[in-house]
Amino acid sequence: MREVLNKYLPLPLSTFEMYESIRKDVISHYILRLAYCKPDERKWFIKQEKELLNLRLSDSKTVKTFEIENGIYHDEVSIHEFNLVREDLKQMFRSEYNTRNEAQLPPDVEDNKGYVKVSFEEVLDLVSKRRVVVSNGYAYVHKSKVKSLILIEFRKRLELAVIRTYEQAPLWRDDKRIYDLIESLPSQYLEHEYVPISKNEIDISQLDTLSLRSMPLCMQHLHNSLRRYHHLKHMGRLQYGLFLKGIGVSLKQALIFWESEFTKAGLNFEKDYSYSVRHNYGTVGKRTSYCPYSCTKIINMPVMAEEHHGCPYKRADKTYLRKLLMDNSLDPNDIENVIKISTQSPMEACREVFVLSHPGYQIEEIIHPNKYFDASMDYYQQKEKFMNQQPSNVANPQIKNVVIF
């Protein structure tokens, strides 16, 4: 991201360029805030804006200037307070730097001027990572971590601002000058995000097993519908075909798979459908290798009667969604909770199903069906590796925590 920042937001060379750069930055921010203010999309936007600020606060001098210009002040730590937590702070730094050599620690570790204090509730991220000492309701934060305080506060303020933008949506959605642009922005960006992490090919003989084990509900539903009816309408073929391409199904295997299903329905695959499969792989037509669809694009896809594409958490009624989730052997109480979550955030509901189906493997968010699949495959690879290394009486392997970006 730093390379992108340097390319598109370089440091201005003159006062005029500086103000012009700021003007463009502000305009683009508010356009994106409008585009990503929906509950399903705002988490991605907030995350990117936070990362952008993190890159811009590149050193302690920049951080200090930012604090002054924005009126950010923190309580200083008195000598008495510092003496009460001195040893805990030293122990924290020894653990963080993995050393007992105090010469390797920051020079102001034993200086009360090197710290500020804030309510521990303001820095729960740092508390969870054990990067601060908490005493009497206050977190003692080393000045090298002040940037983290700024980012935490920035995220909280931006979350509130984005919610207010969404609440005011009726004021700008009636303006045709911007509505179409704003609505199309999320899918225009996210659908190009996925890059396969594995070069391994998936054999089509594995798809039935992988569908139930590792595919998100949207792709599992398409797979089962194809197996049942031996046909999918155009958007269903696109959504599922590009997904299969992304998980590692080769063009040769894809042609065999689709032809075998369509032939069962009495359709002429070679004449009417094979071109579109080759087109997805970039071997005919414009010869563009198309990307698998993102969650945002799938959620926003229009769905007509007798079509099976789109996001089940968004399009399916509660009765049908309950049936789909029951087919995944989820606990009835968990199913009801997922259905409740789906009314607010389909992507969060999808994440919840992943967590329930892959115990011990934590995911921050789901933004792409193929990343769901990749994480699931990683889970089972880790599980198999762990079980091969452990005695047979070990029942519950601990799978590492992972964040999907």
118 in the same domain as 213: no
368 in the same domain as 247: yes
186 in the same domain as 93: no
Question: Per the structure, how many domains does the chain have?
Answer: 3
Predicted pLDDT of residue 191 = 44
Predicted pLDDT of residue 288 = 77
Is the residue at 114 inside a domain?
yes
Q: Which residue has the higher pLDDT, 264 or 18?
A: 264
Is the residue at 59 inside a domain?
yes
The whole-model pTM stands at 0.55
Name the band, by pLDDT with cuts 50, 70 and 90, for residue 91: confident
Burial class (CB in 10 A: 0-12, 13-18, 19+), 70: exposed
Residue 370: how many other CB atoms lie within 10 Å: 26
Q: Which residue has the higher pLDDT, 161 or 104?
A: 161
Is the residue at 398 inside a domain?
no
185 in the same domain as 52: yes
Per DSSP, the chain holds a count of helices (H) and strands (E) of 21, 4
163 in the same domain as 143: no
Residues 173, 178, 183, CA angle at the centre, nearest 5°?
70
Is the residue at 85 inside a domain?
yes
Is the residue at 33 inside a domain?
yes
- Are 193 and 352 a contacting pair, CB within 8 Å? no
Q: Is the pLDDT of residue 92 over 60?
A: yes
179 in the same domain as 139: no
What is the C-alpha radius of gyration for the chain, rounded to an integer number of angstroms? 26
Is the residue at 338 inside a domain?
yes
129 in the same domain as 50: no
The position carrying tokens 């769905």 is 303
Q: How far apart are CA 368 and CA 280, in angstroms?
A: 18
Residues 68, 71, 74, CA angle at the centre, nearest 5°?
90
222 in the same domain as 171: no
Q: Is the pLDDT of residue 147 over 80?
A: yes
For 228-248, how does the pLDDT look when each residue is reduced to its tens digit (9 = 90+)? 999 999 999 999 999 999 999
Token pair, residue 4, equals: 């992108």
Distance of alpha carbon 297 from the chain centroid: 14
The position carrying tokens 């065999």 is 256
Is the residue at 402 inside a domain?
no
Is the residue at 300 inside a domain?
yes
Paired residues of 140 in beta bridges: 117, 133
Residue 352 Cα distances to 199, 336, 343, 379, angstroms: 28, 12, 13, 15
Q: Which residue has the higher pLDDT, 255 or 141?
A: 255
216 in the same domain as 90: no
For 80, half-sphere exposure in the C-beta direction (CA atoms, 13 angstrom radius) is 0
Q: Is the pLDDT of residue 145 over 70?
A: yes
Q: How far apart are CA 194 and CA 319, in angstroms?
A: 32
For 302-311, how does the pLDDT look when each residue is reduced to its tens digit (9 = 90+)? 888 889 999 9
223 in the same domain as 186: no
Q: What percent of the chain has pLDDT over 70?
A: 85
Average pLDDT over every residue of 83-107: 78
Q: How far apart are CA 36 and CA 190, in angstroms?
A: 11
Question: Which structural domain, as residue segments, surrounds residue 48?
Answer: 2-71+153-190
In 91-208, at which residue ranges do the beta strands (DSSP E only) sit?
A: 115-119, 133-135, 138-142
Q: Which residue has the higher pLDDT, 4 or 381?
A: 381
Token pair, residue 135, equals: 């005493």
- Are 126 and 132 a contacting pair, CB within 8 Å? yes
219 in the same domain as 91: no
Single out the residue in 190, 217, 248 at which a domain terminates: 190
34 in the same domain as 94: no
